[in-house]
Amino acid sequence: FDREQRFDAWFTTACNKAEQCYINYHKKDASLKVYWVNPYTNENRFTNDLQYGEKHTHCIETWLGHEFIFEDSETGEIVMRHTIEFTGTRAIGVLPRQSLPTNRDFHETIKSTLNGEWRRQGAVQRTFSSLGFAKGRLPEDIFGTLGAYYYNNRNFTIREEWDGKGVFVNWWEVDVHFIQLPWGLKKMLQERLKTMVEEWTGVDLEETSMYGLRQYEEGARLLTHVDRTTTHAASLIVNVAQGNVAEPWAVEVHDHAGRLHQVNMEPGDIVYYESAKCLHGRNTPLKGPGAYYVNLFTHYRPTGDSNWYKKG
């Protein structure tokens, strides 16, 4: 009997539990009221107000088969019902495309941005490897976890918010889509990947940021740049999935001697790189009818040392 109880407890947690994130893109000027439907009484129980936009993403731990209702706080209209089928992220509504100012000169903005990125990388004095980057491979269990998460959520991507974020991705020409990672999954991935980056750098690290999943699509380009100086000392690019790609979409990395390298990736491949020091980008457009290319980015720095870059 005790063994059966232990099995039931394990099964309930390991196989029935799920994480779910919700993002409100229904109306800018109205929150959504979120209700959990009690599966035993069918009562709608209020849980929270969901404010507009990515920065107000709300993540919860719940159970497979549980249902949530989203109600317009102004009109009382039910705008979505959602039953949990797997760990994932769902948006309520669609983020409108950003309107472009008619007098904006993207060519000049790109030129100015590139000049600034070359200056920024020169401020970093400390390095961790001979070249500044290396190619590797995900452990199979992590690749399986990420691949399953992307597969389950591939039809629920959202348009990435780029208002005020610069011109590093050509968002004004091609939509860039995004799948948010729930907190628990993100924490597990950060810890597992951190041990790999620590082995590559040879120093103890703390996680500072994880971003993705970002889905680039046909015509996408990534401007040569470096990442945030204080937080992005050592990083990983993870290719989770790609398809309909007519030719390899290489990541272009400048090593510590200023030499340009092109690194091709397949799903499950990773690239370690010193992202605040080594200029990197993908300046050749992603080619292929219906092409897509899905990456995860994770970043670390020496533990407790926001001034790591000053110590050459």
By residue count, the chain amounts to: 312
Q: How far is CA 248 from CA 70, 210, 283, in A?
A: 42, 25, 13
Say how far apart CA 174 and CA 293 lie, in whole Å.
13
Say how far apart CA 276 and CA 306 lie, in whole Å.
12
Strand 58-63 to 205-217 pairing: unpaired
**Ordered DSSP codes for 136-163:** EE--HHHHHHHHHHHHHHGGG-EEPP-T
Say how far apart CA 216 and CA 278 lie, in whole Å.
22
Strand 88-93 to 78-83 pairing: unpaired
The reported pLDDT for the residue numbered 105 is 81
The reported pLDDT for the residue numbered 6 is 75
Are 53 and 160 within 8 A, CB to CB? no
Q: Is the pTM of this model over 0.85?
A: yes
Binned average pLDDT, 10 residues per bin, the chain of 312 residues: 70 83 94 96 96 95 96 96 97 87 80 92 93 97 97 95 82 92 94 97 96 95 95 97 97 96 98 97 97 97 94 74
The reported pLDDT for the residue numbered 165 is 74
The reported pLDDT for the residue numbered 115 is 92
